[in-house]
């Protein structure tokens, strides 16, 4: 963690304490059918992760990661089919050049294909003009491959934050129906901790867009990130179930957005030469993700993000409006977790 937390907050971040507190949380809460849960997958080769952004990865290893990404994603498609679940796949546009067949297979199986940028650079690394070009290039390439429109976007490393709030205007300008990049937590790489925990209209300088934020669990006055990634690998499954239960209990707009990466389901992949902390954050729990995901897919009804977004657009006037541009207005504490992406 990047700062000390004591008392209830410290207990909230302790996996064992959380597991003890959440014993008895049902895998599918009562009334869950009224909620909209989304299983989303951020598809990029393993060498593109933020922890490896400054590494020089040999071409042979990059090719191997591309091959393994293809295999892992196809196994995920099999698991989704077995569970009768449709999902959303946010795909890096550059993959259209190397693995177009994989993207077509995702689309042919009835899943949504969204954009995960062109080459997985955080928005912080781009100017507005570069971001616009990146979006258009990715969206156009994906649409050419699937033969249909791309409606959704997820920024690499959830990099729609206060400093990059200008991205909202460009997303709307480029014709996206929704964004799913805001994580209402405090983290060393991302997060808008005072953002709404449910769907909202994200306001930019002149335009706005429907936002589907990532799932959090509110405990001891903190927003605990429980939507997937490193949190799915580190925390007991009961923690994510608690977050889904809270989402389902909202009187309206009950939506829970989860995220995963194909490389997180490949325990035998070659390891990147990361530092000790980054290595732990990246690879902790990769050996148990497949069984956990299969159980999750059996326990909950999941939908594609685009289908949820269309329904929300019809009631957009009832959604909270929140500006991601400018200085935050504190709405309570948000947990700081230096966990894996």
- Read off the tokens for 34: 């009224």
Distances (CA, A) of 34 to 41, 200, 245, 255: 23, 18, 11, 9
pTM for this prediction: 0.87
Give the chain's largest Cα–Cα span.
Answer: 54
Topology of domain 8-323 in CATH is TIM Barrel (3.20.20)
pLDDT for 253? 76
Going by C-alpha positions, the residue among 97, 109, 192, 115 that lies closest to residue 151 is 115
Give the integer Cα–Cα distance in Å for 239 and 174. 36
CA dist., res. 75 & res. 79, Å (int):
6
- Take residue 257 and report the two structure tokens written for it: 């957005």
Q: What pLDDT does 111 receive? A: 98
| pLDDT tens for the chain, residues 1 to 341 | 333 232 333 334 444 444 444 434 334 333 334 589 999 999 999 999 999 989 999 999 999 999 999 999 999 999 999 999 999 999 999 999 999 999 999 999 999 999 999 999 999 999 999 999 999 999 999 999 999 999 999 999 999 999 999 999 999 999 999 999 999 998 777 879 999 999 999 999 999 999 999 999 998 888 999 999 999 999 999 999 999 999 999 877 789 999 999 999 999 999 999 999 999 999 999 999 999 999 999 999 999 999 999 999 999 999 999 999 876 544 434 333 334 45
The candidate with the shortest Cα–Cα distance to 200, out of 187, 181, 222, 219, is 181
175 Ramachandran zone, left/alpha/beta (phi>0; psi -120 to 50): left
Which residue ranges make up each domain of the chain?
8-323
Q: Which helix (H) or strand (E) holds 170?
A: helix 167-173
pLDDT tens digit sequence for 96-129: 999 999 999 999 999 999 999 999 999 999 999 9
What distances in angstroms separate CA 21 from CA 4, 242, 266, one per listed residue?
21, 10, 30
| DSSP element (H, E) containing 321 | strand 321-323
pLDDT of amino acid 3: 34
The per-residue pLDDT for 191 is: 78
Cα–Cα distance between 178 and 143 in angstroms, integer?
Answer: 16
β-strand pairing of 208-211 with 200-203: antiparallel
Q: What is the pLDDT of residue 187?
A: 76
pLDDT tens per residue across span 58-99: 999 999 999 999 999 999 999 999 999 999 999 999 999 999
């Amino acid at each position: 963690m990047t700062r000390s937390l004591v008392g209830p907050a410290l207990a909230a971040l302790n996996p064992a304490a959380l597991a003890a507190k959440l014993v008895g949380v049902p895998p599918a809460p009562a009334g869950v059918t009224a909620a909209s849960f989304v299983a989303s997958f951020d598809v990029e080769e393993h060498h593109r992760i933020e922890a490896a952004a400054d590494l020089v990865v040999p071409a042979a290893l990059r090719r191997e990661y591309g091959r393994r990404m293809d295999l892992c994603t196809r196994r995920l498609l099999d698991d989704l089919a077995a569970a009768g679940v449709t999902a959303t796949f946010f795909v890096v546009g550059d993959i259209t050049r190397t693995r177009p067949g994989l993207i077509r297979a995702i689309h042919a199986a009835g899943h949504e294909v969204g954009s995960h940028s062109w080459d997985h650079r955080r928005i912080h690394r781009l100017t507005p003009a570069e971001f616009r070009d990146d979006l258009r290039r990715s969206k156009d390439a994906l649409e050419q491959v699937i033969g249909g429109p791309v409606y959704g976007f997820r920024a690499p490393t959830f990099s729609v934050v206060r400093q990059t709030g200008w991205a909202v205007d460009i997303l709307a300008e480029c014709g996206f129906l929704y964004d799913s990049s805001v994580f209402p937590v405090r983290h060393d790489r991302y997060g808008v901790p005072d953002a709404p925990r449910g769907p909202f209209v994200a306001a930019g300088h002149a335009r706005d867009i429907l936002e589907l934020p990532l799932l959090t669990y509110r405990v001891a006055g903190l927003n605990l990130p429980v939507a997937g990634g490193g949190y799915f690998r580190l925390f007991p499954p009961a923690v994510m179930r608690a977050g889904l239960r809270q989402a389902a209990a909202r009187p309206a707009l009950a939506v829970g957005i989860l995220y995963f990466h194909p490389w997180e389901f490949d325990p035998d992949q070659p390891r990147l030469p990361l530092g000790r902390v980054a290595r732990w954050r990246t690879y902790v729990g990769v050996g148990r993700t497949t069984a956990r995901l299969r159980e999750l897919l059996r326990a909950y009804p999941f939908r594609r993000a685009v289908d949820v977004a269309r329904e929300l657009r019809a009631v957009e006037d009832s959604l909270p409006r929140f500006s991601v541009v400018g200085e935050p207005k504190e709405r309570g504490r948000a947990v700081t977790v230096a966990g894996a992406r």
